[in-house]
Chain A
């Protein structure tokens, strides 16, 4: 009975979702990956259908001359975008991490198509600005669809670089030598190669046990030694990792590989940096990558220093919620839990610009499960161990066979290689490994966009209220005012305050003569930090889930106007009757 009931309810839910979709002005499906033209035209369709809520514009071009699009969601009727707290979302700074663009597209589509029907979405869209750059690395994402490639090919910007220090740039890339349109893996028969065929599945290779003779040597990516230097595929297109090219404590390539010649030396990073500085209202950013299932925050290196504890609390709150919104994801610190990075976008946003943010590492291959429900008494460690053994090989092959009809893996096939003689080419195909098969896209994009929406709810919203007015006699009055923020993200990050990055928010009183003013430390014990100069204008900010209380001693009658002028939140105004 219980089961039936659940089934009934979920059917209803499905029906209602479908109904909502049908009324949408633009129908987009999330059952495939969008190539460049389809992606751009989808944003154009959204822009055409919602002209009052959206703007599509080109903020720059890439090294190969492709446009970098910015899609802004802002209800112009409720105000200018820069007067509202801003959320910045970008994707695919690494050109092969393609599904980040689908998350961006889904986010935009979901916010817009639910605007009329869902009150919570409508309130969100009316009070926030969303800046969405679906593809940063336009060159390599375009190439990912149009050229022979592989899931690990296309991370870099198209800036030539002499990776192997032989005086030539980009002269030994991987090659599609068998002409099948993909660059897969190569193996060559070699008893000392360290690998053998799995007894359970002839497509899978496993390491030999100590003392065993092997069958295969893995040669890496498909290709030939184009430059005849005795190394294979060692100098492919570019190497400028745009996510190492940003300006906070940027380090040169000998310290951080892929850093580029100098901060923002690549065209997309420069265009984005130039854009970001025009939007001081941005208070949170998401940069979507793949893969691994992580919400990553900085610091990315020892050089970046530490994050103030009050900011860590903000990150922890959002990160732990994120772990639940996207089950299986881990909230981690890049430099400590993963590896050192210098010059990444998120570090620049937070440390240089005082803007919080997460890198979202989309998708983890554990999600490609092919197994029965786990017995309840299994410990977590055993589970992980079984997973690593299985998915690398046999379990994943079964998943491919029985859920994608073998689409994910190309069986090994003999090929006569000009340098190695007979080799075999095959392996996990281009649109796998870093991204799920199409039937799993919808849940991925929905959950990750939901994390953005959850975070967007927590941007600062100021409310201003009068605490009291006390007559001190002799024409003097004490006015006490409270500005509060019910959300997780403070009106300025503690890093922004520590580094003096922005003008602080201003609590200002007008219409009366101000004798003194200051921030109230304790309302009950009457402890006030008086401001020595210009007491009508108090520079401050409102913490996470917190408040700021101020007092003024004023002379005068009638109405006084109090305003809260925020950098990263909507301004507020309060009229006080004296």
Chain B
């Protein structure tokens, strides 16, 4: 894979130069205006392969663009790439443009098999703030929002008091303060733990003044909503930045509409902060409503003569409900709706297997490309994210890639030495719950001891927690790393990592005479520096990781007619059997897709002139076909004139089509 990357980088740089997308050879992250320009140029130069669509305009009057790549009108599955949806991923936008360039040059062969739809920036307003000074770190769009619900809107934003171009922190020595300097690195601050006898010194504020005189600093800054948190799965109401309801923003609404108008979309890939390829999303979230056991509403329980306090599994309830209503076609989903069980919040356990395999392949890929250095975990999905919506409500496989997180600081990498027989945190992290349980109580106990776990945290408890799904090995390792640090009284893990990666990401504390707070010091982390590295670091990471997208695309389901078998039952009467198979790695649809009824079902039709259907129907929708050879058998009993042909066809929007003609000949 390595041999891929250097020509790719060179080509990308060359293209940048030729297209004038970047201001100079020492390229930088593309600003919204530059993204727009680059897209227009790409579309102009590649009229046959690229179409630029303006999906929406933001409240700040910026376009949300989508570049459609691949032959127009081709009936090919499409991959939807949404970058920088949350406005906080300059790397994502940069990667999306690189991907578009690759697909139009070195990867042209890819356009023969898939269409690619690329949104280089889903939140141009929020992203534009990255290029504004002072740099605030805010990622909301430009729609006004009265955050403090007083008599003015957007009237108390941050102020760059020291004029350094960054909104950092202010610290004030105060009796209420619960922050102190980190002992060995006083540029960093940490919160004290009063239960350990630590006493605080500073109160911490964001840099700014109380512009509206309500006693609060920076509580109502400019904008708005982050459209990247505005999608309808797991949306949060009544926050300051997620919008009043989901799909309230032009940006999110337009992307949703586009997806529903394009049923050929077979996969979603997000370039943002989260990374579902490196580690598979956790699956132990608690549902807001419902669960796996259900009580019947009282009045129905009474009518059915059933104890309203008793809980039933779905497998018990479904036959009961069918008998009682006499409605034989009653499905589990219909019953779940009626029971108010709510939406699915964890990936379907039947889909997870596929995700895990893909994640393993991705981690191998990183290793091959020397990108497997220890780094901090990527943040999880945001509430109301595009990533999760694409899987839970749109039903397609959805992967996210963040290209880079802060490398772990040297110090943290020296883990406590253990003898060979004992587990390390690194090993633990990579194990499945079953594997950890299989170690047995003794080994787990030894491990807990070496990690200085609190005495009440016993091996039996760990096993129980893993069995019940209350905790995952990854989460466990994470917690132990954190608790290990607390003991040292050191800095926050992220601060420390950032400092060791780039000490210039922190502004030294300097005295300032604040109009209402009096004497303060201004300093601390420069916004965005913790998630966006200098461009050179990013460019290398991006060019090395983009090739994995080709691997992902190759995993899409592909439906084919595996076999057709004819049996003559009587003169002119034929029993036709066919096996429809899935030759791709991924299932069609996903198990969640089947549940959420979103990818249109694949359909099998049989046609031919004098065909009389004695059994079976000429048009039948298919159910779910598992990946890697999943198969469904269909059959018909036909009456046909000797020698007539029938055509069997499987067609789908996003998993390909296939057809076979068979001849019904007595002599055969």
Contacts and interface: CB of A to CB of B under 8 A. Distances in A.
Pairing of A with B:
yes
B299 to A, nearest CB: 9
A157 to B, nearest CB: 14
Interface stretch (A26-34, A415-423, A529-537): A529-537
Interface in A150-206: 162, 165-167
A335 B600 CA distance: 32
A167 B603 contact: yes
B225 to A, nearest CB: 13
B621 A166 contact: yes
Interface in A271-327: 301-303
Contact of B214 (A166, A302, A533): A533
A352 interface: yes
A247 B245 contact: yes
Contact of A352 (B146, B233, B244): B244
B596 A228 contact: no
Contact of A165 (B237, B618, B621): B621
Interface stretch (B337-345, B519-527, B532-540, B542-550): B337-345
A392 to B, nearest CB: 18
Contacts of A246: 245
Contacts of B232: 250, 252, 262-263
B246 interface: yes
Interface string B327-344: 000000110111011110
Interface in B548-567: none
Contact of A249 (B237, B253, B341, B600): B237
A339 B602 CA distance: 34
Contacts of B340: 301-303, 335, 340
Nearest to B288: A303
B149 A504 contact: yes
A348 interface: yes
A34 B341 CA distance: 41
A254 B238 contact: no
Given A254-B333, A503-B151, A247 B244 contact: yes
The interface centre, meaning the residue of A229, A340, A348, A502 with most chain B CB atoms within 10 A of its CB, is A340
B203 interface: no
B247 A166 contact: no
B163 to A, nearest CB: 27
A255 interface: yes
B595 interface: yes
Nearest to B247: A262
Given A166-B619, A503-B150, A257 B337 contact: yes
B600 A254 contact: no
A248 interface: yes
A20 B579 CA distance: 78
Interface residues of B, number: 45
Nearest to A249: B237
B215 interface: yes
Nearest to B290: A302
Contacts of A348: 245
Contacts of A121: none
B246 A506 contact: no
B151 to A, nearest CB: 6
B601 A167 contact: yes
Given A167-B603, A228-B619, A348-B245, A262 B337 contact: no
A180 B300 CA distance: 40
Nearest to B238: A499
A303 B289 contact: yes
Interface string A531-558: 0111001010000000000000000000
A335 B297 CA distance: 11
Given A254-B333, A257-B337, A340-B338, A167 B621 contact: yes
B131 interface: no
B289 A534 contact: no
Contacts of B603: 166-167
Q: How large is the interface on A (under 10, 10 to 19, 20 to 34, 35 or more residues)?
A: 35 or more
Nearest to A337: B299
A255 B597 CA distance: 11
Contact of A262 (B213, B246, B596): B246
A436 interface: no
Interface string A360-386: 000000000000000000000000000
A141 to B, nearest CB: 26
A533 B235 CA distance: 34
B285 interface: no
Contacts of B245: 246-248, 250, 263-264, 348, 352
A255 B337 contact: yes
B246 A255 contact: no
Nearest to A254: B596
B238 A537 contact: no
Contacts of B601: 165-167
A251 interface: yes
A414 B334 CA distance: 35
Contacts of A229: 617, 619
A248 B238 CA distance: 11
Nearest to B392: A252
Contacts of A65: none
Interface string A217-232: 0000000000111100
B246 A500 contact: no
Contacts of B256: 261-262, 265
Contact of B247 (A230, A265, A303, A534): A265
A348 B247 CA distance: 14
Contact of A228 (B233, B246, B343, B617): B617
A280 to B, nearest CB: 11
B314 to A, nearest CB: 14
A256 interface: yes
A502 B246 contact: no
A246 B237 CA distance: 13
B213 A250 contact: no
Interface in B240-266: 244-248, 253, 256-257, 260
Interface in B479-526: none
Nearest to B231: A262
A393 interface: no
A303 B235 CA distance: 12
Interface in B270-315: 288-289
A335 B340 CA distance: 10
Contacts of A503: 146, 149-151
Given A249-B237, A254-B333, A254-B595, A262 B253 contact: yes
A376 to B, nearest CB: 30
A229 B302 CA distance: 37
Contacts of B151: 503, 506, 537, 565
Contacts of B393: 252
Contacts of A532: 215
Nearest to A539: B150
A257 B392 CA distance: 16
Given A251-B343, A263-B232, A500-B149, A228 B618 contact: yes
A317 to B, nearest CB: 27
Contacts of A351: 237
B617 A247 contact: no
A249 B256 CA distance: 17
A484 to B, nearest CB: 22
Given A229-B617, A247-B244, A252 B343 contact: yes
B248 A247 contact: yes
Given A254-B595, A504-B149, 8 more contacts: A167-B602, A254-B333, A255-B336, A255-B337, A262-B247, A302-B340, A533-B214, A539-B149
Closest 4 CB pairs of A and B: A247-B245, A533-B215, A340-B340, A262-B247
21 contacts: A167-B603, A167-B621, A228-B619, A229-B617, A229-B619, A248-B237, A250-B235, A250-B245, A251-B343, A252-B233, A255-B341, A257-B334, A263-B245, A265-B257, A303-B342, A335-B340, A348-B245, A351-B237, A352-B244, A352-B245, A537-B151
Interface of A: 162, 165-167, 227-230, 246-257, 261-265, 301-303, 335, 339-340, 348, 351-352, 499-500, 502-504, 506, 532-534, 537, 539, 565
